[in-house]
């Protein structure tokens, strides 16, 4: 399966607590991806 990447382009930058929230979301998504891969390998 191929990873599909996209780039969000906006004239606005994250402000306030948004940068921290974005970073936390990306970390969580990376963990979920790793967990999904591990579960898939264990199922084989």
Short-list 30, 21, 27, CA closest to 3: 30
Specify if 25 maps to a domain. yes
What's the pLDDT at 1?
54
Q: Report the predicted TM-score, pTM, of the whole model to 2 decimal places.
A: 0.58
Specify if 7 maps to a domain. no
Our count of domains for the chain comes to 1
Specify if 1 maps to a domain. no
Specify if 27 maps to a domain. yes
pLDDT in tens, 1-44: 567 788 888 899 999 999 999 899 889 988 888 888 888 888 87
Determine the structural domain holding residue 42 and report its residue range: 17-44
Specify if 11 maps to a domain. no
Residue 4 contacts by C-beta under 8 Å, 6 or more apart in sequence? none
> Could you identify the residue written with the tokens 């998504």?
29
Specify if 29 maps to a domain. yes
Give just the sign of the alpha carbon dihedral 8, 13, 15, 17. positive
What's the pLDDT at 24?
92
Specify if 22 maps to a domain. yes
What's the pLDDT at 32?
87
What's the pLDDT at 33?
87
Distance CA 3, CA 5 (A): 6
Specify if 37 maps to a domain. yes
């Amino acid at each position: 399966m191929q990873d599909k990447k996209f780039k969000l382009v906006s004239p606005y930058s994250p402000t306030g607590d948004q940068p921290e929230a974005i970073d936390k979301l990306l970390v969580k998504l990376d963990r979920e991806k790793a967990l999904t891969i591990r579960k898939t390998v264990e199922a084989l």
